[in-house]
Structure 1
């Protein structure tokens, strides 16, 4: 009787194991793909894009997956840590951890995506803790973001999360999947592997917004439309999409201005800029409502929506106001062959003077400040970045909406976990933030200065209570200035990291 019972149990266990394979292919992607955003290439197209002689050697199996994928994750956790025991950490990095790191090719097909994608990056302090003395050739990375706070426009560091203050963070794990449970399970596994060799410093949990808001940031605007195409990766370039050499994003690749001086082991890596940007959504909505425009022929709601759109440069749908200057156009927004195909110049319009006309789009609009297009003549792709951030925090509550004020409850903080990749922080993120976003005179040569970017701009060194002047937001009176006495985005700090090629994890970094 006992033998029969055991046989039945064993038989059921075998049958169960056969019915449910341990490693099942994914059926749903860990990525989102809104119509408005550029599509990722298929694995085959990505391979074909890199076969030309100029791009030979772009190894998508060695490039960490997050770098070229952009703002497409469903769920993501940023786990910031310090290294306590370098020897143990390096031993685990070269074996257990390396085997978990997700490459670019894996993410391009649902069938090859892991349950949870894992990437890793290190700060300068982290490389030092690992005994790596090589100079990676980036001054911003070497000094860390805390040292750059003032010139980035952060009004001091009193609003910074304590973990970002100084240089105590050594590294960050980026965990992405389609469920929170998957992400948390993978983090628990990493913590079990590494044990006491690391300590948690800070974490930020992000998620694509729900339902129809998928792909939109917390102010409600579709994001990620202007991502660049990458030579050697993107095969089908969309109309209006900037094309960058791989070395403008990837260290040591063709187009990296410092290619010859980089340590050989860094080729295929990228500098990661992380910023935790708190968004004051009720305050933004209140300001937009209180400053609704008075354009004839538009309803009160349309005039309110138009003012918000002129701050951003796009409607909430993602349609550019340069092509839809008075009303939203969802068909335009959802057509990624048209929604990025503009330059702000309209030579077809009689009497249009490009240097002074901002009827369609203000010179100060967020998307114009961060990508000036024809304003600078031929576009300089050397300042492009690949954005890979994700919203964090809950949706706005009814109580916050009624009060028109964000809650002080830390659990209700929301914003953007901003991530940008580039091969040169000074020419990428820092240049964009300092020379364009925070520069009241940019775009240059205007009779009335455009002012700072109304969303994320602040003159370097200015105090939090200093009003920020912008102009051009009223199409009826383009020279009219607005004084912003409210912060829509508050920096909670961040750090600069290097996302190494996967091969380096069992090489220099664990030696």
Structure 2
């Protein structure tokens, strides 16, 4: 039976029929690889097509499949046996051209779903060609390796054992340098709270509210979370927000591969530098503007992100350290959904990038369409700092550059998902025209030219009166990146 990309329930990766096609799909797409250290090697293939195909075929033979990733996860959970080094390979449109695929073949193979607000960004044109639409700096301002462009491949290696990772990366680079041009290398290292939750350099818990695809991802949730992605309460503890997503959210048929049930996914990589020092100063200035006192001052930063540092969502509580059993079980629509934005401001980062019913209520967008813009985030922090974000630190300890996030995500359409989210939500000052007001840009990832003061902030929690206007943003700088495709394993190993 063919794989159903419109499935209405999570798939069980242990069944024989699913094991078969998951062995053709690479890992990290349907669930994250889970390693704390990563090395990303960006390469240019040789001009010789035969040599380029051989290199990709050899690299493809080492890629970790989704099936193997699930086996490793099961072994670690049940017996504490760590998985082997994780490997995956991403190919840019330029890389496909080096492999001998002409424009006609590529246009037929990589048809992307259009966005409701037309965006031009797409895999075949690449990220740099669409910098203006995405609000990015011009390519001349990117880091040198990305600035030179024409990246063909990204080899991603990941492991919890950092020494083993470095050794394996050194060996891989030594072998590849003989025939490929090494463009640049980026390293990622997870930051975690004392409880093991991932955080980013601003100090906030990260990685919440991911779309979930596999039954293994739902084992800690009750039955109400597993059913189809509807708004209706259906029992269990996830009555409002349904994390389930069908396979079609991230999978795209790999028509260039031989055989059936071969799928890949579009992949976005962006190096986002974070100015932690100035962000922290701006948090305190916003607290001063709103005359917030004592513990209440923490709400200033929470309004920027949409959650407190410990992950508690503003829509659930006006203070931190208040994490409900299902802290992710909320929407912004309905009787208790913060329709005025007085709990969680409309421009808050997590609300901008995951409106949870806002566009349904305010703009009449179908709920399934709003959910269809979600992405599967797989990012990891980069850079070193004097002290861990969890530790108390003086202002001088906070970095203003050279740290940030290696943002990565999978989707079935760059145009309808990442590009739409960045262009029409994060960068859009008029995102939700509630009561005729503009919301302003996303204060975290919004790429803006001239700052305005259209963002509204509330001195009193859940009180829409007395709001004050102030701009918060420009503390994250895009330093370079590229659009890739994660082809199926049969495509990689079948290149002749």
Pick the aligned partner of 2:410 from 407, 421, 425: 421
Pick the aligned partner of 2:347 from 364, 383, 387: 364
Residue 265 (structure 2) aligns with: 270
The answer on whether the counterparts of 1:271 and 1:421 sit within 8 Å (CA) in structure 2 is yes
The answer on whether the counterparts of 1:146 and 1:164 sit within 8 Å (CA) in structure 2 is no
Q: CA deviation at 1:430?
A: 0.2
Pick the aligned partner of 1:91 from 37, 48, 54: 54
In 2 relative to 1, CA 58–367 (structure 1 residues): closer, same or farther, beyond 3 Å?
farther
In 2 relative to 1, CA 217–400 (structure 1 residues): closer, same or farther, beyond 3 Å?
same
Pick the aligned partner of 2:128 from 133, 138, 146: 146
Is 1:448–2:431 an aligned residue pair? Answer: no
Which segments of 5 or more consecutive residues in structure 2 lack a partner in the other structure? Answer: 1-9, 76-80, 113-120, 226-237, 361-366
Q: CA deviation at 1:469?
A: 3.9
Aligned length: 432
* Whole-angstrom distance in 1 between the partners of 2:301 and 2:265: 34
In 2 relative to 1, CA 493–225 (structure 1 residues): closer, same or farther, beyond 3 Å?
same
In 2 relative to 1, CA 60–478 (structure 1 residues): closer, same or farther, beyond 3 Å?
farther
The answer on whether the counterparts of 1:311 and 1:473 sit within 8 Å (CA) in structure 2 is no
Deviates more, 1:67-76 or 1:357-366: 67-76
The answer on whether the counterparts of 2:290 and 2:468 sit within 8 Å (CA) in structure 1 is no
Q: CA deviation at 1:401?
A: 4.1
* Whole-angstrom distance in 2 between the partners of 1:232 and 1:90: 36
* Whole-angstrom distance in 2 between the partners of 1:284 and 1:329: 22
Residue 316 (structure 2) aligns with: 323
In 2 relative to 1, CA 174–474 (structure 1 residues): closer, same or farther, beyond 3 Å?
farther
In 2 relative to 1, CA 397–440 (structure 1 residues): closer, same or farther, beyond 3 Å?
same
In 2 relative to 1, CA 181–440 (structure 1 residues): closer, same or farther, beyond 3 Å?
same
Q: CA deviation at 1:424?
A: 0.5
Pick the aligned partner of 2:86 from 108, 117, 128: 117
Indicate the structure (1 or 2) with the bigger Cα radius of gyration: 1
The answer on whether the counterparts of 2:42 and 2:153 sit within 8 Å (CA) in structure 1 is yes
Is 1:308–2:301 an aligned residue pair? Answer: yes
SS class of match (1:151):
helix
Deviations 1:138-166 (A, max 9, x none): 46111110111121112433431122225
SS class of match (2:270):
strand
In 2 relative to 1, CA 196–446 (structure 1 residues): closer, same or farther, beyond 3 Å?
farther
Residue 35 (structure 1) aligns with: none
Is 1:287–2:276 an aligned residue pair? Answer: no
Residue 374 (structure 2) aligns with: 384
- Give the alignment of 1:102-251 within 5 angstroms: 102-108=64-70, 109-110=72-73, 111=75, 114-133=83-102, 134-135=105-106, 136-138=110-112, 140-165=122-147, 167-210=149-192, 212=194, 214-230=197-213, 234=217, 236=219, 238=225, 239=238, 240-251=241-252
Residue 347 (structure 1) aligns with: 335
* Whole-angstrom distance in 2 between the partners of 1:192 and 1:220: 36
* Whole-angstrom distance in 2 between the partners of 1:71 and 1:280: 28
Deviates more, 1:210-219 or 1:430-439: 210-219
The answer on whether the counterparts of 2:141 and 2:147 sit within 8 Å (CA) in structure 1 is no
* Whole-angstrom distance in 1 between the partners of 2:179 and 2:373: 38
* Whole-angstrom distance in 1 between the partners of 2:215 and 2:97: 32
Is 1:74–2:36 an aligned residue pair? Answer: yes
* Whole-angstrom distance in 2 between the partners of 1:473 and 1:72: 37
Q: CA deviation at 1:233?
A: 7.3
Is 1:483–2:471 an aligned residue pair? Answer: yes
The answer on whether the counterparts of 2:262 and 2:490 sit within 8 Å (CA) in structure 1 is no
In 2 relative to 1, CA 342–471 (structure 1 residues): closer, same or farther, beyond 3 Å?
same
Deviations 1:62-89 (A, max 9, x none): 1111212238331111111111254334
* Whole-angstrom distance in 2 between the partners of 1:498 and 1:327: 41
SS class of match (1:59):
helix
Residue 504 (structure 1) aligns with: 491
The answer on whether the counterparts of 1:293 and 1:306 sit within 8 Å (CA) in structure 2 is no
TM-score normalized by the length of structure 2: 0.79
Residue 470 (structure 1) aligns with: 455
In 2 relative to 1, CA 467–166 (structure 1 residues): closer, same or farther, beyond 3 Å?
farther
